[in-house]
Structure 1
Amino acid sequence: MTSIAIFGAGGRAGRALTAEARTRGHQVTAVVRDPNRHAGIEAVGVTVVRGNVTDTEHIPAIVRGHDAVVHAVSPFSGPDQGFADLDPHFFVKAADALLDGMAGAGVPRLLVVGLFATLTTTDGRMVMDDPSMFPAQIRPFAAAHAAGLDRLKSRRTSVDWLTLTPPALLRADGPRTGHYRIGGETAAPASAYLSYADLAVAMIDEIEEPRHHRTRVSVFN
């Protein structure tokens, strides 16, 4: 049995990850900013705690004793939200806080949910730089994601991290098939899709049997 701390456990990816981990018999610490808003995720094998993925002071205490940590937090819910409250350094701060906190607490493995817009097209450009593939108006969010990935790649750390990047079409109501494919830095075809449930399968697989280390890969159907 593995113990996993999931930051952002109240979101769509976080809930799928929590459910998958529970199904496999793992212990989960569900980290959310406001536990009162997420009472529904508490269950046998799941402990809900208050925490912030950028909180350098308290992360060591939250993650200590766990075998792995998952970062499934997003500060952006969609174009209607706007960008007035979006911190362009959010993912950089999260990367630093998690890597430092985990290293200090002796937690070895970090899994991060990536964003397809940071993958590259067949001509070598980032997807977020191609307006035919990614809406230009939400590029600030993609740029924040890309900065966080760059921080992970540039840090010298004892933490074995991995960013798993799903395709643009990520289905909240899609079934759990248990099947997925792993790609590289190039975006999968536009027809590619994945369910949140199968994203969770891929991430828990990587916690149980790590196959990719200190890198970013794509995951799709």
Structure 2
Amino acid sequence: MSSIVIFGAGGRAGRAVTAEARGRGHQVIAVVREPAKYGDLVAEGVSVMQGDVTDAERISSIVRGHKAVIHAVTPFNGPEQGFADLDPEFFVKAADALLHSLAETGVPRLLVVGLFANLKDADGRPVMDDPSVFPAEIRPFAAAHTAGLDRLKAQDAVVDWLMLTPPARLEWDGLRTGRYRLGGETAPPASAHLSYADLAVAMIDEIETPQHHRTRVSVFT
């Protein structure tokens, strides 16, 4: 049994990963910005803490001594939210803070939830550059996410990071099958889908038995 820190534990991906980690006997530090809103996260083996994924000093105080960190934070919940409050540097700031803090504290493994929009299509261009496939109104968020990925790829730190990128059809109410496929930089077929539960399975698998290092891969069924 080991301990895993999950930033964004109150979101859909964070909740799924928390459940999967606990199901396998891991201790979880569930990090959210406002713990008072997430009392339902408290459970045996789960400690809820306040934290901000862009605050390096706070991250260091939380993650020291733990086996791995998962970044499942998103500042955007859908097009209806708009982009008035979107910080285009959010994912870059998060990458910088996490890489610095994990290197400083000696935490070896960082897992990040990716975004299918910056996977490549059959012609080698990012999916988000094709308006017939990806809604133009969401492109600012996709660009911000891509900047964070680029920052991870550019780093020379000792942190062993991995971004797992689900397909467009990511199903909140999908079943946990325990099965998934991993790809590379190319987007899976349009028919590909994945449940949040199986995304969580892939995440915890990569913490328990790391197979991919300092790269981004797609995950789908």
**Structure 2: how far apart are the matches of 1:29 and 1:142?**
28
**Structure 1: how far apart are the matches of 2:121 and 2:207?**
28
Q: Displacement of 1:2 after TM fit?
A: 1.5
**Structure 2: how far apart are the matches of 1:144 and 1:137?**
13
Percent identity for Structure 1 against Structure 2: 74
Match status 1:137 vs 2:159: no
2:198 partner SS: helix
Q: Displacement of 1:133 after TM fit?
A: 1.2
Match status 1:203 vs 2:187: no
2:57 partner SS: coil
- CA distances 1:52-105 after superposition (whole Å, capped 9, x unpaired): 000122110110010000000000000011001000000000000000011111
**Structure 2: how far apart are the matches of 1:132 and 1:2?**
44
Match status 1:93 vs 2:93: yes
- 1:177-192, aligned counterparts within 5 Å? 177-192=177-192
- CA distances 1:125-153 after superposition (whole Å, capped 9, x unpaired): 10000111110111000000000000000
**Structure 2: how far apart are the matches of 1:18 and 1:138?**
28
- Structure 1 runs (4+) deviating above 3 angstroms are none
- 1:1-221, aligned counterparts within 5 Å? 1-221=1-221
**Counterpart of 1:147 in structure 2: which amino acid?**
A
1:15 partner SS: helix
**Structure 2: how far apart are the matches of 1:52 and 1:73?**
9
**Structure 2: how far apart are the matches of 1:68 and 1:56?**
16
Structure 2: which 5+ residue stretches go unaligned?
none
Aligned-CA RMSD value: 0.4
Structure 1: which 5+ residue stretches go unaligned?
none
How many corresponding residue pairs?
221
1:219 partner SS: strand
Q: Displacement of 1:5 after TM fit?
A: 0.1
1:58 partner SS: helix
**Structure 1: how far apart are the matches of 2:114 and 2:32?**
19
**Structure 2: how far apart are the matches of 1:153 and 1:186?**
17
- CA distances 1:3-29 after superposition (whole Å, capped 9, x unpaired): 100000000000000000000000000
**Counterpart of 2:18 in structure 1: which amino acid?**
T
Give the TM-score, by structure 1 length.
Answer: 0.99
Q: Displacement of 1:209 after TM fit?
A: 0.1
**Structure 2: how far apart are the matches of 1:42 and 1:65?**
21
